[in-house]
Homo-oligomer: A and B are copies of this chain.
Amino acid sequence: MNLPTLLPAIELELQQQVARLDTSRTQVYHQMLTYHMGWSGLGAGPEAAGKRIRPVMVLLACAAAGGNWQQALPAAAAVELVHNFSLIHDDIQDKSEKRRGRPTLWVDHGIAQAINAGDGMFIIAHLAITDLEHAYPAETTLRAARILHETCLDLTRGQYLDISYETRLDLTEDDYWPMISGKTAALLAGALQIGALLGGASDSQQTAYREFGEYLGLAFQVQDDILGIWGDEAVTGKSAASDLLEGKKSLPVLFGLGQSGPFATRWRKGPINPNEVGEVAGMLQETGAYVYAQKKSQEYTELALQRLAEANPQGEAGELLRGLAGQLLNRQA
């Protein structure tokens, strides 16, 4: 078992699920989904497809808990489809014109069709999870479906908070955690719990896998926030401090706004320009935001590794899961 085996299997399952729309009269609708997934259109390829981290987590948790990962493929696809549904709608909501270097769906097809494409991706995710019934008892399939549905509701809660924060000036760190808990951590938590369930893990072991995913998501997001302000452009591939230019309410920014001083004063004056972004990043570092965010990231990393140890993943899959967690938690980019 290794990633070069898992990834093509995930891709094949995803393609088969999305092919539900490969019917007469809905070819363009189908193409919208295959384009977004990175399989068709200009710039198609692995770069456009993304890393498929969430479905890999489903399969590794399943195998590491003692199950057959091939049987869990529909669940892996379901989780990745939910992730991509949320990206399609997110791009409309954020008015993002590019994703992974390519025009977003709403730019090419209009908002109306892009909303519908997201809806289609979402419903195919639910059909995919239902396909577990071919290999698992109905009770297990339903349990996995319910975990996925609850996860999706959490995702929309996080999205609601994120959108509502755009116009708010009174945010504090307390507003940050519930938002990223829904937007980033929920789907990783759900992916790992579903994988563990399908691998035959006990309830308490499922909880350990779930919480591993949750803390991993929180640690990952805080690191992403740090890299978005102080990251090395050569390593991250994003322009340095891009989050400051976008006015993103990340953990360091919310921490910095809680301290009076030059950063808070400058932030409240309005959008930050490219020519002052280095200076503002310095002001923010002066507030202790960098050290604080590193500390929070470290705390969640430790909690994640502790829960992973409790989950006690076995065999080759267990090794891969530990390795992947290490990569995600110690990344430079």
Contacts and interface: CB of A to CB of B under 8 A. Distances in A.
A161 B115 CA distance: 14
Nearest to A29: B160
B130 A146 contact: yes
Interface residues of A, number: 46
Interface in A1-55: 20-21, 23, 25-26, 28-29
A94 B116 CA distance: 12
A316 interface: no
Contacts of A308: none
Interface stretch (A136-144, A216-224, A274-282, A297-305): A136-144
Interface of A is mostly: helix
A232 interface: no
Interface string A128-162: 00100100011101100110011011001101110
Contacts of A141: 138, 142
A151 to B, nearest CB: 9
Nearest to A146: B130
Given A116-B89, A178-B25, A142 B138 contact: yes
Nearest to A82: B123
Interface in A85-143: 89, 92-94, 110-113, 115-116, 118-120, 122-124, 126-127, 130, 133, 137-139, 141-142
A171 interface: no
Nearest to A30: B160
Contact of A156 (B23, B123, B152): B123
A120 B156 contact: yes
A118 B89 CA distance: 11
Nearest to A24: B178
Contacts of A309: none
Nearest to A88: B115
A164 interface: yes
A291 interface: no
Contacts of A152: 119, 123, 126
Contacts of A138: 137-139, 141-142
Contacts of A120: 153, 156, 160
A113 B28 contact: no
B113 A111 contact: no
A223 to B, nearest CB: 24
Interface in A250-300: none
Contacts of A161: 25-26
Interface string A157-188: 10111011000000000000010000000000
Interface of A: 20-21, 23, 25-26, 28-29, 89, 92-94, 110-113, 115-116, 118-120, 122-124, 126-127, 130, 133, 137-139, 141-142, 145-146, 149-150, 152-153, 156-157, 159-161, 163-164, 178
Closest 4 CB pairs of A and B: A138-B138, A93-B112, A29-B160, A123-B152
8 contacts: A93-B111, A94-B112, A110-B163, A111-B111, A113-B160, A118-B119, A126-B126, A142-B145
Given A116-B160, A127-B146, 19 more contacts: A26-B157, A28-B160, A92-B111, A92-B115, A94-B112, A110-B163, A113-B163, A113-B164, A116-B156, A118-B119, A119-B156, A120-B156, A120-B160, A123-B149, A124-B153, A127-B149, A138-B142, A141-B142, A145-B145
